[in-house]
Structure 1
């Protein structure tokens, strides 16, 4: 039997075909554009995600017995605001996770409503990427469109709706809306009221591996699927990646080195850090996690290598870096090219190089970019450790993991071994795994992960370099506070 995992990404949708033993049989990718109408804006048409799925599934199944497909699971970019009218028609393009137009709405929520109030009702405070500030922006700037909203949902939920006709979401994705009472796993009536919504306008809540319905017969016929294919609620992309790397349950950790970077740490029960510097979210396995998110990770490397240096040859750039200079670099980089989420919650933050001299080399700058991203991840890890959450190792996935040097730098700066699993496409793999649980092939998400996720290699930190990076991190850590006042004066 086969299971399909769908990952609705920011630049492309990835579709993965998996058998019940966890073998990845095929991966298909369909790209689409993002619209940047104004500086800081980021939008996509939800229809482009659906077209990608419609084009991708027949290609995914070509040469395979489509009748063996039993279940489907979707994951995707979190926080995006999808709005439908009473006829379930799209009202406006989706406002994405990396859209920063909501700075004033975030200030209103954090200062007027109050961080303590938000934390009490949701376990989190407001960030520009979250969904609730987008709703406030829409109510204030597009009142006619807001008045037409009959349903709001998240990106992967729109695809699930087109598959099943069911308006649903899961707890992990809903956690990033700032509308969910994360601790008690229910919509917060207080937050819905603040955003001008009623409970009938938000989707029904499910655990990630719960069945929300079946692919509708006419849709199944159009996609070349058998009738009766089950669709599970799915998960936010980071929660799905945690499943796809086996980071299920307390004692685990997963780092995603994508365009943005995340560190997801499952916890023993619900946990909210004292200063709300990390996100307190639900996990795809029915539990909870602390999650840190830095807005620019592999995106920093792409900016430096492709846009600044002007080459696409990443290996050659890394070959310039001398191993003897690891832990000894005199140049520092703040990776805040798109502002920063955790732990600073500062959309005005900007990237910066500090410490350049007349003898600074191109290799020093490249190394500083790689180290700066790792230092930012450590900032998030330090918050979790302050809450006495032990992180002794982590899985790691995402495009950034193709660099062995970068993996080593992250391991040395965090001071923990990093585990790379066999399947690179962890979010889509995790979504397919959730579908297999929904179909009863495995009794739980934890059991499924234990059986299907396999280790590829472990990157061990170099004890000789860890001590050097400790001092460098202490220096780097003081740079954002020193520049914060200047950032507030910049446009």
Structure 2
């Protein structure tokens, strides 16, 4: 029999599953992906059927194994999108669709929690209760879907559901538990006193495992569905951003990782919760035991680029050739100076994230006139998003965190003009991550730790992370951007007041 030399990582993203087979040196031997639908039956609702994750994951696992063979897999681990509750009945069947992180139907519950329990949540987690965390969603279900809550026997999260389908074992890990806001990082247990105070059913909260623990083995039914060998070790895994922290190398104090996807995330390891950052960035348990990471959320990342291109071209959706056209637009931006000819874009197409978290905020173009080219308009959008990223960095800096290295990943990092611009706006030399599937890579690392293929020390030493040499920022352009950034902050304050008074 072929010796097991690979680990398999299953990344349940918000729109697609990505499965990779990785060597202990961090090389990708095979990959496969699959998509699933998202439903928005009412404004502000964003939900998915957990069974669609399983169907896509099973097919992607089978496709990946066709390349490497099932006997090569030493262990399986997971990454999954955060905060989305999966409530199972006594037969292990979901009682309702999973409410995704972007869903805002629980805004009344969030307002109630903020009014009555803000201090409790800040003391316990360092975070204010907002719609993005699971606790508000659970209270909405209790109020609006009481029959579903009555039927629920177990609360899981997206990656946990796939692990359950592979093993029949129920449970979660500390990173997804933390994103509920009902987890006590100090003792590693559910915050049962607060859970009972909120009148949530205590019995639904499952066992919490360490992210790198082996928690079960592939069952016979899972083997039939996926092609995995029965008995393959299955590791707990972690939430997607906790895995991304590992896969981007943001595991040392002083390393800031920026991921440019539809949204953008700004992540770094923190030694403790900073009261100055409370409500501006969010704090989460790391997959590295006993540690935390902080995250700045930029809701309009690559979304802004797609939106601007569709607006400029009149297209309703983008095809492969459109992304090539965006690259051509960027080639024409290389001579555009900072400030985009005095055009400024405030990048809040879906409200603002860090540091404001204000749903009233809206995207705004300032300085529009005749004769402005598509390149100039797109350049201003990229600058606005870069300024919002800088706001996240400055929250960490004000909290006492020095930033010595910046790693840039995600699909947007392929754009050389935008990457260089971000470095100039931040005043930091940027290193590009060579593998952009950070969450899948992080989950594979956890599988390696679980089976002894690598150690947590290997992860912390960034032995498995490959980056480019740091690209130096332009001191002259950074000085120009400092002045423009100050104007951006003034414009934000004025426009926030305008939108709040609508």
Question: TM-score of the superposition, structure 1-length normalised?
Answer: 0.95
The number of aligned residues is 489
Q: 1: CA distance between counterparts of 2:311 and 2:16?
A: 21
Match of 2:318 in 1: none
Alpha-carbon distance, 1:270 to partner: 4.9
Residues 52-451 of structure 1 mapped to structure 2, 5 A cutoff = 52-113=56-117, 115-286=118-289, 287-310=291-314, 312=322, 313-327=325-339, 329-444=341-456, 446-447=458-459, 450-451=462-463
- Cα drift, residue 489 of structure 1: 4.4
Q: Note the alpha carbon deviations across 1:46-78, whole angstroms, 9 max, x for none.
A: 111101111011110113231121111110211
Report how far residue 25 of structure 1 moved: 0.9
Q: Give the SS at the match of 2:462.
A: helix
Residue 301 (structure 1) shift: 0.9
Q: Determine whether 1:9 maps to 2:21.
A: no
- Structure 1's 418 and 82: CA in aligned 2 closer, same or farther, altered over 3 A? same
Please tell me whether the aligned partners of residues 416 and 461 of structure 1 are also in contact (alpha carbons under 8 angstroms).
Answer: yes
Which deviates more from structure 2 when the two are superposed, residues 289-298 or residues 268-277? 268-277
Q: CA deviation at 1:378?
A: 1.0
Partner of 1:487: 499
Deviation at 1:217, TM superposition (A): 2.8
1:181-201 Cα offsets, whole Å, 9 max, x none, are 234432222432344324331
Q: Deviations over 1:255-285 (max 9, x none)?
A: 1111111111102345554543111111122
Measure, in 1, the Cα distance between the counterparts of 2:348 and 2:210. 34
Distance across 1 between alignment mates of 2:459 and 2:42: 46
Change in 2 beyond 3 A, CA 1:291/1:56: same
Preserved contact between residue 448 and residue 455 of structure 2 (Cα < 8 Å): no
Range moving further from structure 2, 26-35 or 445-454:
445-454
**Structure 1 match to 2:466:** 454
Q: C-alpha displacement at 1:359, in angstroms?
A: 4.6
Q: Is the 8 A contact 1:238 1:256 kept in 2?
A: no
Give the Cα–Cα distance (whole angstroms) in 2 for the partners of residues 418 and 32 of structure 1.
34
Contact 2:284 2:294 in 1 (8 A): yes
Change (3 A) 1:381 1:117: same
Q: 1:270 to 1:186 in 2, by over 3 A?
A: farther
Inter-partner Cα distance in structure 1 for 2:38 and 2:444: 26
| Distance change in 2, residues 1:441/1:44 (3 Å) | same
Structure 2 CA distance for aligned equivalents of residues 147 and 349 of structure 1? 37
Q: Give the Cα–Cα distance (whole angstroms) in 1 for the partners of residues 360 and 314 of structure 2.
A: 27
- Normalised by the length of structure 2, the TM-score is 0.93
Cα distance per residue 1:164-211 (max 9 Å; x no partner): 222222222222212122344322224323443243311222222122
Partner SS for 1:264: strand
CA offsets, 1:137-173, max 9 Å, x none? Answer: 1112222222222212211111111112222222222
Measure the CA separation in 2 of the matches of 1:82 and 1:46.
Answer: 7
* Separation of aligned partners in 1, 2:451 and 2:189: 25
Query: How large is the Cα RMSD of the aligned pairs?
Result: 1.9
Q: Which ranges of structure 2 fall in alignment gaps of 5 or more residues?
A: 316-321
Moved more, 441-450 or 258-267: 441-450
Q: Give distance in 1, aligned partners of 2:499 and 2:155.
A: 34
